[in-house]
Amino acid sequence: MNPADYKDLNTSPRILLGPGPSMVHPRVLRAMAQPLVGHLDPEFLKVMNETQELLRYVFQTQNPLTIPISGTGSAGMEAALCNFIEPGDKALIGVNGYFGERMVEIAGRYGAQVDRLDRPWGAVFAPDEIEDALRDKGYKLAAFVHAETSTGALQPHVAEIAAACHRHGALLVLDTVTSLGGVPLKIDEWDVDIAYSGSQKCLSCPPGLAPITVGARARDLLRSRKTKVANWYLDLSLVEKYWGSERTYHHTAPITMNYALREGLRIVAEEGLEARFARHRANAELLWAGLEELDLPPFVPLAHRNVTLTTCQLAPGMDDPTFRRRLLDEYNIEISGGFGPLKGKIFRIGLMGFSSRRENVALLLTAMRQLMLR
């Protein structure tokens, strides 16, 4: 090993228009350069309190238990399931894309008896079919993905789904990894019991934290568990003591990532949720119009098309990996392809947080047009 072989890191300033991570806001990068303080330093405790307040604003909730989990979105997913499942509990999980599959996998590992509610990739669920699936089954929990990043579909009618879950005694878990901070999401008004997200999508931060919010019904259930949560690291009854008034050490918080999240959330609050949702929609509509002009038709019907993650079909004969590689090499732009049943059939284009900019849409469409002409 010769240390001289290891050069300074000099990564390219990519334009990240894939399914995530999206581009980090320059203010977030500046916040990350602040000196490290200890995880129980009064200055950090203030950062924690402010982050929780800002998270409640972004989730549109008053839930006291609203915190960033240390870990990526999948840690949020795991926390949202492992804390509320005891071995033998029944769970209903909606699978209309890749991340529903992942929830099935995780819930099963914690001993849940999982029933799947399957819909084709790109489709969404109707509240009635969910209600039918819930009837007389004794599910403790039902879980759905709000914005399926693998397909570009946005699940509508969340309030109706939550009401159906509660009529049948189940908690509603909602994956909001690709929706939080980009599309309307009203945790309290819709009565969602547990929602989790990730820092690297519409919040314009690097990957590494998973905001989660837990409502009163779910919190009561956590307190009345008969068995210990099978995952020590993600056990919310322990983690909440660090984020609550006790400030009991659980694990060393990733301080710098929390600086980042606080700044990302501050930027959301300054812009205002409504203005932010309108910006995401306007830029997505611009993209959709441009893709239609390029004869790259949308994959998801307008009625449930997600504005933060667009999917379009490929043109006949288009070589997906080569096209995307050229976008990256020649234009510094990252977009993504489909996977699972959509491999080789679609592009996935993210316009999230700091990446959702008019100039990025114009640049991408111009680059795609030039590559298609050659």
Ligand X SMILES: Cc1ncc(COP(=O)(O)O)c(C=O)c1O
Contact 177, 71 (CB under 8 A): no
Q: Which is nearer to ligand X, 149 or 310 (CB)?
A: 149
- Residues 75-94 interacting with ligand X (rule: CB under 6 A): 77
Q: Which stretch binds ligand X (CB under 6 A): 1-9, 69-77, 88-96, 231-239?
A: 69-77
CB of 257 to ligand X, least distance (A): 12
The stretch among 41-49, 58-66, 71-79, 315-323 that binds ligand X (CB under 6 A) is 71-79
Q: Does 59 bind ligand X (CB under 6 A)?
A: no
| Cβ-closest position to ligand X | 73
| Using rule CB under 6 A, residue 177 touches ligand X | yes
Using CB under 6 A, which of the segments 49-57, 67-75, 260-268, 319-327 binds ligand X? 67-75
Contacts of 104 (CB under 8 A, 6+ apart): 93, 95, 114, 116
Q: Which residues pair with 310 in a beta bridge?
A: 349
Minimum CB–partner distance for residue 203 and ligand X (Å): 12
Secondary structure (3-state) at 86: coil
Q: Which residues of 158-189 are buried (b: 16+ CB within 10 A; e: fewer)?
A: beebbbbbeebebbbbbbbbbbbbbbebebee
User: Is 72 an interacting residue with respect to ligand X (CB under 6 A)?
Assistant: yes
In the complex, minimum distance from the CB of residue 18 to ligand X, in angstroms, rounded to a whole number: 10
**What φ, ψ does residue 268 adopt, rounded to 5°?**
-60, -45
Tell whether omega for the bond before 341 is within 30 degrees of 0, i.e. cis.
no
56-86 as b/e, with b when 16 or more CB fall inside 10 Å?
bebbbbebbbbbbbbbbbbbbbbbbbbbbbb
Residues 15-44 that bind ligand X (CB under 6 A): 19-20
Q: Which region among 171-179, 227-235, 278-286, 297-305 touches ligand X (by CB under 6 A)?
A: 171-179
Within 306-365, the residues that bind ligand X by CB under 6 A are: none
3-state class (DSSP) for residue 280: helix
Least separation in angstroms between residue 58's CB and ligand X is 17
The DSSP 8-state label assigned to residue 304 in this structure reads: G
Q: Under 8 Å CB-to-CB from 102, ≥6 apart: which residues? A: 74, 77
- Measured between alpha carbons, how far apart are the two ends of the chain, in Å? 44
User: Using the rule CB under 6 A, which residue among 207, 231, 281, 320 binds ligand X?
Assistant: 207
Binding mask 105-144 for ligand X (x = CB under 6 A): ----------------------------------------
Residue 331 or 339: which CB sits closer to ligand X?
339
Q: Does 178 bind ligand X (CB under 6 A)?
A: yes
Cross-strand partners of 346:
313
Smallest gap from Cβ 299 to ligand X, in A, equals 16
Binding site for ligand X (CB under 6 A): 19-20, 72-74, 77, 99, 145, 149, 175, 177-178, 198, 207
